[in-house]
Amino acid sequence: MRILLSPDAAGAGEIAATLVAASLRDLPAPVLGVATGSSPQPLYRALAARVHAGLDLSRTTAFALDEYVGLPVDHPESYHAVIAREVTAPLGLDAERVHVPEGAAADPVAAAARYEAAIVAAGGVDLQILGIGANGHIGFNEPGSDADSRTRIVELAPRTVADNSRFFDGDAGRVPTHALTQGIGTILAAREIVLVAWGESKADAVARAVEGPQTAELPASFLQRHARVTLVLDHAAASKLS
């Protein structure tokens, strides 16, 4: 794994935006995997500035990692809404080419299969942006997830519900208990992966992902299997690396 460091989150976002722009710039039909949450926000801001300055991402197809089950798509914290607000609009993407798992589908198993098929039909993901949970999850692949798992319904870990309650007025009772997420196998099929992490709360998960054994107990450790992974970290997130 390649590790790039910046003193702060904004700097990490700049570095990650440079990587994303360089990877996508010359592709005729780029496919970008996008994450939600706090981690990629500095990256999206830095990328949006480049779009403002002339970078054209309008031919990019995007696939989100995950979506809550049980939130209507027009709920402000649904990932449909978050991706539209934080990714599609600021990056100048074509909304028709932006895909988010159908967490509200009546048949989630069929929806998961459709999502996998849509990624394959698009030619696979050229670059996947990731954050990491404090418990080492990627996407919503919580501890216990298999390395070859694919898009499916999962139950969120108590730690994830607690962490994400900040998006629901601090009320853990309002955080959905389940999500439809790309699997670890789905994520590892991307040709390149850029993981952004900042803040002391991620330091333990980052250190275990990079230096620990590959284990389902720390799903991000399976990123060690991928040939082109870059972690872009601020000093706090890197503070437990040896």
Footprint of ligand F6R on this chain (CB under 6 A)?
35-39, 65-66, 131-133, 137-140
User: How many whole angstroms separate alpha carbon 95 and alpha carbon 111?
Assistant: 19
DSSP string, the chain: -EEEEESSHHHHHHHHHHHHHHHHTT-SS-EEEE--SSTTHHHHHHHHHHHHTT---TT-EEEESEEEESS-TTSTTSHHHHHIIIIITTTT--GGGEE---TT-SSHHHHHHHHHHHHHHTT--SEEEE---TTS-BTTB-TT--TT--SEEEEPPHHHHHHHGGGGTT-GGGS-SEEEE--HHHHHTSS-EEEEE-SGGGHHHHHHHHHS--BTTBGGGGGGG-SSEEEEEETTTTTT--
Q: Judged by CB, which is closer to ligand F6R: 108, or 133?
A: 133
Least CB distance from residue 151 to ligand F6R, whole Å?
12
Annotated active-site residue in 86, 126, 142, 192: 142
77 is catalytic: no
Is residue 66 annotated as part of the catalytic site, yes or no? yes
Nearer to ligand F6R, 29 or 89 (CB): 89
- For ligand F6R, which is the closer residue by CB, 59 or 229? 229
Task: Judge whether 192 counts as a catalytic residue.
Answer: no
The first and second tokens of residue 26, run together, are 């010359």
CB 54 → ligand F6R: shortest distance, Å?
Answer: 28
Active site residue 137: yes
Tokens 């054209």 map to which residue? 56
CB of 42 to ligand F6R, least distance (A): 10
| Nearest distance, CB of residue 137 and ligand F6R, angstroms | 5
60/182 with CB nearer ligand F6R? 182
Q: How far is the CB of 79 from ligand F6R (least distance, A)?
A: 6
Pick 30 or 133: Cβ nearer ligand F6R: 133
Q: Pairing between strand 193-197 and 229-234?
A: parallel
Catalytically annotated residues: 66, 135, 137, 142
